[in-house]
């Protein structure tokens, strides 16, 4: 078990290292943003998944280590990589910049949470409408529900499946329930 003294030493070491790394981390983050911006503005999207090894194993790991937003961008890249591989409409298909990609991701996450927390009928209905207007793949729904700060239950997964019933194929639906480890359900059409 680590003592307070150990923790303090670790903290000192962390701050020393952060000071040494901060310029490189910022530069790596700038590179990630500029690569995403270039790919989205030209719709040359093949370059985007190349950022995954850069962040996970290359110089980009410093951005991952120190700049929180990098984690969500990495999640988006994994979503897009899966969508490219399985020929799905890409999460970024209606985005032309890293900023608009970020906004889409956050608004999708907020909509998920509004449905999960059911603050009011209007709040949930607005979220459903948003998701139906800007649907996402079952890969995006899976990765976001697994990695983001929300605790989904069976009912929530079924609600998502209902919302995206017209957008996801039967196979997508089946894969989504398999991935989430929940029993396959036929969407009932009751969104909330």
Q: Is 74 or 161 the residue whose CB approaches other proteins more closely?
A: 74
Q: Assess 26 for contact with other proteins (CB under 8 A).
A: yes
Distance CA(96)–CA(36), nearest Å, equals 9
**Helix locations, 43-66, DSSP H:** 51-56, 61-66
* Contact present, 78 and 90 (Cβ < 8 Å): no
Q: Which token pair is 80?
A: 């897009």
- Please pick, from the candidates 1, 57, 87, 149, the single residue that binds other proteins as defined by CB under 8 A: 149
DSSP letter (8 states) at residue 58? S
Minimum distance of other proteins from residue 4's CB (angstroms): 6
Distance CA(116)–CA(143), nearest Å, equals 16
Ramachandran quadrant class, 44 (left: phi over 0; alpha: psi -120 to 50; beta: rest): beta
Q: Is 9 or 85 the residue whose CB approaches other proteins more closely?
A: 9
Residue numbers 69-128 binding other proteins by CB under 8 A:
69, 71-72, 103, 106-107, 110, 113-114, 117-120, 123
Q: Which stretch binds other proteins (CB under 8 A): 2-10, 35-43, 85-93, 131-139?
A: 2-10
- Please pick, from the candidates 125, 150, 165, 179, the single residue that binds other proteins as defined by CB under 8 A: 150
* Contact present, 124 and 192 (Cβ < 8 Å): yes
Residues at the site binding other proteins, with contacts judged by CB under 8 A: 4, 7-8, 11, 15, 18-19, 22, 25-26, 66-69, 71-72, 103, 106-107, 110, 113-114, 117-120, 123, 148-151, 153
């Amino acid at each position: 078990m680590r003592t307070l003294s150990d923790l303090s030493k670790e903290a000192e070491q962390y701050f020393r290292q952060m000071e040494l790394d901060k310029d490189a981390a910022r530069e790596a983050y700038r590179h990630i943003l500029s690569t995403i911006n270039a790919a989205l503005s030209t719709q040359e999207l093949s370059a985007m998944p190349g950022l995954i090894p850069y962040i996970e194993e290359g110089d980009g790991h410093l951005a991952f280590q120190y700049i929180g937003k990098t984690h969500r961008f990495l999640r988006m890249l994994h979503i897009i990589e899966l969508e490219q591989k399985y020929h799905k409409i890409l999460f970024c298909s209606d985005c032309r910049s890293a900023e608009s990609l970020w906004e889409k991701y956050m608004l999708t996450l907020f909509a998920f949470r509004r449905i999960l927390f059911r603050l009011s009928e209007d709040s949930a209905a607005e979220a459903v409408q948003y998701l139906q207007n800007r649907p996402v793949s079952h890969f995006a729904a899976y990765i976001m529900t697994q990695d983001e700060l929300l605790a989904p239950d069976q009912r929530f997964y079924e609600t998502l499946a209902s919302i995206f019933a017209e957008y996801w194929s039967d196979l997508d639906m089946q894969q989504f329930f398999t991935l989430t480890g929940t029993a396959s359900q036929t969407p009932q059409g009751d969104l909330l």
